[in-house]
């Protein structure tokens, strides 16, 4: 009985370790091909009707007219070009370890989280509680009405003192305050102005003195950014916290901003708990020795230009 030499060769090959390795590899490759998920990016690009409509809408918003068929075809081809390059970049892993892409993904996730965490409109009780807790942020500054007589700050001190004394005597005789002092572009009378605005125009020290003067009496001289002044307070309204109706829009805006920040911090804390964070560098040591040349926290020195001495 004859033996097929080809069959004998196959049996000898199967007994070799290399044959075992190749057979196992082929089996693993077949199994992986059967159970592995499909490529999430894939090689099929679909331009939907909704996508084409959005491209046309953007064109219309920019140029105030709808695109022609040729222009729309160009817009679609430009979108396809972007998609092709995007998918090819993903296949090469260009999205990994890119700080710009990481930042953009983070921003999109934060926006999605804010929209998801946004709750119902605040009640009056919540807004009143916030207003009471943040009263200084909404406090209306003191308002002051006053008259002033100006004396030139560039004049010698003795001349200013003499002019102030003369003005006082004239006021005591009932003279019109508008006829006294040096000429100036400053208003002789200021009505119901916020104290912070007065401080911007006349100087902070001047506005602080107005909060202390006794109303109805000529007092001074008081220094300002321009010179010296005799001042008479005609009306003063203390600083106060307005009621909710007067500042509802501002309080609602700030309340919602606080809720957004608090919710975002809570959301991040919950997400971070799902990760085991390992920080390899010894941070205090890294901070204490920022110029060391070794270790994971070191920063490499910039390269020396060719031909330049170190």
225 and 148 in contact (C-beta within 8 Å)? no
What domain range is 256 assigned to?
Answer: 97-133+241-273
282 pLDDT band, cuts 50/70/90, is confident
Q: How many domains in the chain?
A: 3
pTM (two decimals):
0.50
Residue 306 has pLDDT above 70, yes or no: no
205 and 211 in contact (C-beta within 8 Å)? no
pLDDT of the residue at 93? 86
Residue 91 has pLDDT above 60, yes or no: yes
269 belongs to a structural domain: yes
Residues 267 and 145 reside in one and the same domain: no
Residues 254 and 110 reside in one and the same domain: yes
Residue 58 has pLDDT above 60, yes or no: yes
Residues 208 and 152 reside in one and the same domain: yes
Residues 90 and 220 reside in one and the same domain: no
- 154-164 mean pLDDT: 86
Residues 161 and 213 reside in one and the same domain: yes
16 pLDDT band, cuts 50/70/90, is low
156 belongs to a structural domain: yes
Q: How many CB atoms lie within 10 A of CB 194?
A: 16
Residue 273 has pLDDT above 80, yes or no: yes
67 belongs to a structural domain: yes
Residues 172 and 203 reside in one and the same domain: yes
Going by C-alpha positions, the residue among 208, 246, 244, 206 that lies closest to residue 227 is 206
Residues 86 and 146 reside in one and the same domain: no
Average pLDDT, the chain: 80
Q: Could you read off the pLDDT of 131-141 as tens digits, one per residue?
A: 999 998 998 88
Residues 152 and 178 reside in one and the same domain: yes
pLDDT of the residue at 191? 92
Say what the alpha-carbon torsion angle 258, 260, 265, 269 is, to the nearest 10 degrees.
140
Angstrom distance (rounded) from CA 220 to CA 230: 5
| Higher-confidence position of 47 and 115 | 47
5 pLDDT band, cuts 50/70/90, is low
Helix residue spans in the chain (DSSP H): 5-14, 17-35, 49-63, 69-91, 99-117, 124-133, 135-138, 157-172, 195-202, 204-210, 248-272, 283-288
Residue 103 has pLDDT above 60, yes or no: yes
pLDDT of the residue at 220? 84
Residue 250 has pLDDT above 50, yes or no: yes
Exposed, middle or buried: residue 61 (CB in 10 Å: 0-12, 13-18, 19+)?
exposed
């Amino acid at each position: 009985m004859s033996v097929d030499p080809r069959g004998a060769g196959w049996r000898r090959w199967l007994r070799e370790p290399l044959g075992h390795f190749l057979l196992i590899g082929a089996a693993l490759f077949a199994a992986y091909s059967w159970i592995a998920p499909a490529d999430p990016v894939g090689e099929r690009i679909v331009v939907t009707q909704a996508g084409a409509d959005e491209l046309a809408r953007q064109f219309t918003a920019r140029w105030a007219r709808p695109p022609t068929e040729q222009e729309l075809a160009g817009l679609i081809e430009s979108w396809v070009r972007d998609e092709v390059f995007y998918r090819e970049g993903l296949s090469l892993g260009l999205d990994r370890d890119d700080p710009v892409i990481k930042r953009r993904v983070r921003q999109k996730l934060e926006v999605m989280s804010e929209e998801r965490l946004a709750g119902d409109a605040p009640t009056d009780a919540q807004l009143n509680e916030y207003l009471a807790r943040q009263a200084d942020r909404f406090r209306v500054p003191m308002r002051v009405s006053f008259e002033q007589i100006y004396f030139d700050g560039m004049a010698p001190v003795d001349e200013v003192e003499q002019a102030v004394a003369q003005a006082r005597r004239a006021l005591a005789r009932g003279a019109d305050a508008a006829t006294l002092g040096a000429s100036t572009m400053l208003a002789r009378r200021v009505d119901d102005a916020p104290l912070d605005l007065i401080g911007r125009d006349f100087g902070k020290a001047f506005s602080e003195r107005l909060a202390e003067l006794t109303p109805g009496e000529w007092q001074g001289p008081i220094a300002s950014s321009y010179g010296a002044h005799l001042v008479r307070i005609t009306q003063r309204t203390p600083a106060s916290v307005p009621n909710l109706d007067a500042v509802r829009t501002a309080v609602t805006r700030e309340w919602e901003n606080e809720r957004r920040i608090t919710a975002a911090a809570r959301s991040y804390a919950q997400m971070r708990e799902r990760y085991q964070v390992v920080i390899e560098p010894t941070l205090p040591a890294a901070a204490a020795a920022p110029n060391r040349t070794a270790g994971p926290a070191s920063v490499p020195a910039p390269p020396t230009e060719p031909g330049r001495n170190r």
